Amino acid sequence: MILRDEIMNFKYATNTSNIDEPDVHLIGVFSDLKIDEKNNFLSRNSLSKIRNVMKKCNFSGNIGDHRTFDNTGSQIQIILFGLGEKRKFGPVILKNVLTSITKKILKTNMQSLSINVDNLIERKSEESSLELIITTMHASKYKYNYKSKPDTYKLKICNIISKIKLTSSKFSQILKTSKSISNGISLAKELGNTPPNICNPTFLANTVKKLKKEFPSLKIKILEEAEMKKHGMGAFLSVSRGSKQPGKIVIMEHTPVKSKKPIAIVGKGITFDTGGISLKPSPNMDEMKYDMSGAGTVIGVMRACVEMRVKTNVIGVITCAENMPGSQASRPGDVVKTMSGITVEILNTDAEGRLVLCDAITYTKKYKPRYLIDMATLTGACLVGLGKYPSGLFSNDEQLADMIKKSADKTGDRVWQLPLYDDYFDELKTNFADIQNIGGRYGGAITAAAFLAKFTDDIKWAHLDIAGTAWDVGINKGSTGRPVSLIIDFIRSN
């Protein structure tokens, strides 16, 4: 796998006179249609022209609205793009509008742009807002290119203009952090978008090996199936044995601080999910290549952490397997023993994510984590319940859940917490084992989380169901890279 990274050189200025004239200047405008004349490359004639256009309602300032003007007296083009209502503006809208307008410019031959960010910045957190802006614009250039003639971009220079006084060293630090986060997001997207005939468990393990070569401080360990058998990981092996592709558990360690308990992140890495013997319907089954998005998130987060040298110990664990209906595949009715000793009756082989995760969670406990967060495209039920906008959040610790929600609000990578009442655990009871791997017809996302919670009694744990948020469909079909930004902010904040 090659992660293609066209260079975007960001420069910072407090005034337009401090930078060379760009090909295009971007101005974000709220629906109140007020334009700050200062720090913009606008001539008086251009400003008058723009205001006349606004009066005629040819530009509304609504989200998705944009309008291009030729700037009188120069070669600069001016693009206004809508920010919507000021009272509703926040990280989610910021990321959406910046991504949209940057992608439009990337399709042109323009080589340089400038943008006035003063009306985009949250005054209580100026530096983190600036970081989000740069991360979003840098990440916007990502595109999966497995073509004979890959797409290339002409845009090379992005000038950030703001009244905020920053030293060159401070901006360099913000820029480095922003690009590290963007690289992590892009890597997660690249892995998710890679076709399943290429991205198999061995491919994911090799990706981590390449990461180790790029960042030697990263420690890695790969558990093969023979070692898993010694550890008693019967749940994981019940999933991987249906495929010719051997399963792997990959552990990554970023431990810059001695004698400090780590934050552990665990990702589901089912590189293709047919459902096994409980075969999925064929429409849209191609999207099951995204069933490794939890693992892609973990790899992306670990890359960002080592690249920006985060001063927090982080353990990343990914569970890499294919769920195939081979002759050795698990059957409904099989009973397996997990690494924890808990026995599980498999009633549906398409509920395989919880089986690989439960053994990985048990294994990860040996690191004595302060917090353990798992991420998984776990249930279609979460998508039914919440749609494609927030990830489902479950936790056995309310303080941990609140910390995650705070990072979600800050990054615009939204979550919504769902309950874990005792009633849901009752649905996992069976006559033939300690628990079964599915609950009843309703609340499938919750009973799946309840299954995982059975293995987390002695740790502070949270589960993110990203089945609805890990990829887009339709014209923008592809991996979203979520929830990389959320998890990175959680690690940096805690």
- Could you list the active site residues? 280, 354
- Contacting residues for 18 by C-beta, under 8 A, at least 6 apart: none
Closest CA to 273 of 368, 179, 351, 193: 351
Closest CA to 299 of 269, 270, 325, 326: 269
Instruction: Round the CA-based radius of gyration of the chain to a whole number and report it.
Output: 24
Report the DSSP pairing between strands 219-223 and 248-254: antiparallel
| 430 and 456 Cβ atoms separated by less than 8 Å | no
482, β-bridge pairs: none
CA gap 154, 105 in Å, rounded: 9
Size of the chain in residues: 494
Collapsing DSSP to helix, strand or coil, 106 comes out as helix
CA gap 64, 207 in Å, rounded: 37
Within 10 A of 412 (CB to CB), how many other CB atoms are there?
A: 18
CA gap 425, 445 in Å, rounded: 12
Residue 467 identity: A
465, β-bridge pairs: 376, 392
Within 10 A of 227 (CB to CB), how many other CB atoms are there?
A: 13
CA gap 1, 234 in Å, rounded: 31
Report the DSSP pairing between strands 24-30 and 77-84: parallel
159, β-bridge pairs: 11, 114
Give me the numbers of helices (H) and strands (E) for the chain, helices first please.
14, 19
Q: Among the residues of 32-167, which ranges form H helices?
A: 44-55, 91-106, 126-139
| 80 and 119 Cβ atoms separated by less than 8 Å | no
Closest CA to 156 of 303, 13, 24: 24
